[in-house]
Structure 1
Amino acid sequence: MRDLPDGVSRREIDGRERVCTRGPPVYGEPTDGDWRVWDASRSKLGAMLELGMETGLAGGESVLYLGAANGTTVSHVADFAGPTYAVEFSARPVRDLLEAADPRPNLFPLLKDARKPDTYSHVVESGLDVLVQDVATRGQATVANRNARFLADDGRLLLAVKARSEDVAARPEAVFEEVRADLSDRYEVLAETRLDRFHEDHLGIVARPR
């Protein structure tokens, strides 16, 4: 398996080795002292790490997270990252996100639409190390392209593509090929892995700006 970022560890919890971060629990996950399980079945980024993808994460990065929902994954990211901006469109999950952010001074929730980066460009700094995207909407590549403006030249895009959000009737392979093509003007794909072991009809992509 690939090395994990600093601040992320594999620990034996409930009789098996689990990927964990150190921080306050958020969603009732199993814990071992200060360490809490990063459940890959509830997190696409967690699945990417569990499956051994080379994400380029080292720990301490500045992060823009799109599709933060109620904070399940982004709270783990904030446990090992630097400043972490969490964009979520729906007001109801943002209430939970605010609770997750309360003990994490480096986690900044934003009630915004990831398809409209102009609405938060005055808050989110440019030159960020990582863009994490888990937005279940049509046009996932378009969202990644529009938000590329926030990434440093040597930054990384960590994208979880949900085929059924693009086209519920299309073959996932055809959807993924279209997403790759749409990304190609702004990004170079470095790695990709199907996430079906944890998330059906999902593809994990690691890319860097062109």
Structure 2
Amino acid sequence: MQKLFEGIFSEENKVYTKNLLPGKRVYGERLVKVNGTEYREWDAFRSKYCAALKSGLTKSIFFNGATVLYLGSAEGTTVSHVSDIIGEEGAVFCVDISEIAMKKLAALAEERQNLFPIISDAQLTANYKEYFEKKADCMFQDISQRNQADIFVRNAVLLKKGGLGAIAIKTKSISQAKEKLEVVSDEIKILEKEFEILQVVNLEPFEKHHYLVLVKKK
């Protein structure tokens, strides 16, 4: 088992995180034990962040003990691996507008006590800024709305200066008419209001019409 980034490992072209709760699966993933430590396989076809890891992401935004703002947490597939990475001393504030998704995430949070589900529109930062005693160390977004970059920029107020972020951009949700790279270029111009752009990663073949943009808050 080789270390890719802090809390993220690789073996035979597969990606893993150390299981925070040994013996327990979240979405039917494979569990592997190496030298007494249990790892959960991370499925790149079900997680855009893992897809980015498999597609050449040069830096990971998550680390042990981190405070994370996660926008568009859905049912918690990727969130569960972030939970593994940040450990018991970290915290993931999981924002999603779907009550159905939040019910499943709330059940997951009962087991993984570093998860904090918040039902809210991610455009309304005032709804959840009170949860942050200090600014987040890192921020991730996976929201398929037309104003994806604008939402990310609005939430920059909750991210510390110099903090890393990553946004999964779904180009088809923004424009059906424009070329993919033109859409990404337009979104980057919006992101540059608050962020330095570090890397742009094409997520194909794991996710069609998706790019992950790695950023650092100015």
> 2:63 and 2:126 mapped to 1: Cα distance?
28
Q: How do 1:148-167 and structure 2 match up within 5 A?
A: 148-167=156-175
Residue 3 (structure 1) shift: 5.7
Q: Is contact 2:62-2:138 (8 Å) kept?
A: no
Aligned to 2:28: 28
Instruction: Give the secondary-structure state (helix, strand or coil) at the position aligned to 2:144.
Output: coil
Q: Please state whether the residue corresponding to 1:41 is helix, strand or coil.
A: coil
Structure 1 residues 139-148 or 162-171, which shifts more?
A: 162-171
Q: Which residue of 2 aligns with 1:173?
A: 181
* Contact 1:4–1:57 (8 Å) recurs in 2: no
Q: How does 1:1-210 map to 2 (within 5 A)?
A: 4-11=4-11, 16-23=12-19, 24-33=24-33, 34-57=38-61, 59-60=63-64, 61-81=66-86, 82-210=90-218
- On the 8 A contact 1:44/1:199 being kept in 2, the answer is yes
Distance in 1 between the 2:183 and 2:195 partners? 17
Deviation at 1:123? 1.3
User: Secondary structure at the residue paired with 1:99?
Assistant: helix
Letter in structure 2 aligned against 1:30:
R
Gaps of 5+ in 1: none
For 1:35, what is the secondary structure of its paired residue?
Answer: strand
Give the deviation of 1:171 after TM superposition. Answer: 1.7
Which stretches of structure 1, 4 residues or longer, exceed 4 Å deviation after superposition? none
SS in 1 for 2:149: helix
Q: CA deviation at 1:30?
A: 1.4
Paired residues of 1:125 and 1:150 also in contact (CA < 8 A): no
The superposition leaves residues 99-123 of structure 1 with CA deviations (integer Å, 9 ceiling, x where unpaired) of 2222211111111111111111111
Cα 1:17–1:43 shift into 2, 3 Å? same
Bigger mean CA offset, 191-200 vs 96-105: 96-105
Instruction: State the Cα distance separating 1:158 from its structure 2 match.
Output: 0.8
- CA displacement at 1:58 relative to structure 2: 5.7
How far does residue 6 in structure 1 lie from its aligned partner after superposition? Answer: 2.6
* Unmatched tracts of structure 2, length 5 or more: none
- What letter is aligned with 1:116? L
Contact 1:158 1:207 in 2 (8 A): yes
Partners of 2:96 and 2:125 in 1: CA distance? 12
For the 8 Å contact 1:130–1:157, the answer to whether it is kept is yes
Q: Deviations over 1:21-42 (max 9, x none)?
A: 1223111111114311110111
| 1:121 to 1:20, Cα distance in 2 relative to 1, 3 A | same
TM value normalised by structure 1 = 0.91
Letter in 2 for 1:8: I
For residues 3-57 of structure 1, what are the alpha-carbon distances to aligned partners after superposition, in whole Å with 9 as ceiling and x for unaligned? 633322113xxxx431111223111111114311110111111111122312343
Aligned identity (percent) is: 33
